[in-house]
Amino acid sequence: MIDAIRRHPWRSVALILALLALLALAAHRLHRSHGAEARKAAASDLYTGREPKGDVSVFFASATSPMPGHEARAIYLTDSIAARAHQAVQALLQGPKGKGLLPAFPEGASLLGLFIDKQGLCVVDLSLKHPGGTTGEYVSLYCLVHTLADNFPEVQRVQVLLDGQRADTLAGHLDLSQPLDRSSF
């Protein structure tokens, strides 16, 4: 092999360069795939973690009263109102931490997307299987609208989408064909 390298040094250089190029390509792909996984797992799309934190009021069903109650949750105070609203809705979907409050949404509900336009319409795209019932739907929507509108003055109305599509209702009772606001309740 050493004789072959001595007779054809350019082949050796070409082979080494090819191996280095393959290693660089493999490292780049590995970095890209881990970077994508980290971006999915981290909340860096919403905040960096270096922003100050502040409290928002997140509304939940009450175990002792017909009207929903609320508890404070810390979120990162980003420059983006939509990122802050997103964090608040995520806290709502996670359920209450304190006693006397019950989840407003069923387990497994997830937030697929959220944006706020300049006219104060907040579009919230949820994925969930709602158990139904007029009271259950009322509480879910009340808690969603009030969590957003009470904390973010920019949010005047809330349009709920289910799995990216307009929906007439969560589970057959309350009308979702038009945006909701505080006066809807």
Could you tell me if 35 and 119 lie in one domain?
Answer: no
Query: Which pair of structure tokens corresponds to residue 75?
Result: 């979120």
Domain ranges, residue 18 = 2-41
Average pLDDT over residues 46-64: 95
CA distances from 88 to 17, 73, 92, 125, 172 (A): 52, 8, 6, 14, 26
Could you tell me if 28 and 86 lie in one domain?
Answer: no
Q: Which residue has the tokens 């336009």?
A: 117
Domain presence at residue 127: yes
Could you tell me if 110 and 61 lie in one domain?
Answer: yes
Taking the C-alpha atoms of residue 69 and residue 56, their distance in angstroms, rounded to an integer, is 13
Domain presence at residue 128: yes
Helix, coil or strand: residue 146: helix
pLDDT of 24 above 50: no
Our count of domains for the chain comes to: 2
Taking the C-alpha atoms of residue 33 and residue 67, their distance in angstroms, rounded to an integer, is 47
Could you tell me if 32 and 108 lie in one domain?
Answer: no
Average pLDDT over residues 28-51: 53
Domain presence at residue 89: yes
Average pLDDT over residues 103-107: 96
Domain presence at residue 47: no
Query: Looking at residue 67, what DSSP letter applies?
Result: S
Nearest to 125 by CA among 136, 115, 139: 115
State the pLDDT confidence band at 45, using cuts at 50, 70 and 90.
confident
Per-residue pLDDT at 151: 98
Percent above pLDDT 70 for the chain:
76
Query: Where is 116: in which H helix or E strand?
Result: strand 110-116
Could you tell me if 99 and 15 lie in one domain?
Answer: no
pLDDT in tens, 134-164: 999 999 999 999 999 999 999 999 999 999 9
Domain presence at residue 48: no
Domain presence at residue 37: yes
Percent of the chain that is helix, strand, coil (3-state, to 5): 40, 25, 40
Could you tell me if 62 and 107 lie in one domain?
Answer: yes
pTM: 0.76
State the pLDDT confidence band at 128, using cuts at 50, 70 and 90.
very high
Q: Which residues pair with 123 in a beta bridge?
A: 115, 159
Nearest to 137 by CA among 94, 183, 96, 184: 184
Domain presence at residue 111: yes
Could you tell me if 26 and 57 lie in one domain?
Answer: no
pLDDT of 106 above 70: yes
Could you tell me if 10 and 98 lie in one domain?
Answer: no
Helix, coil or strand: residue 68: coil
pLDDT of 183 above 70: yes
Domain presence at residue 66: yes
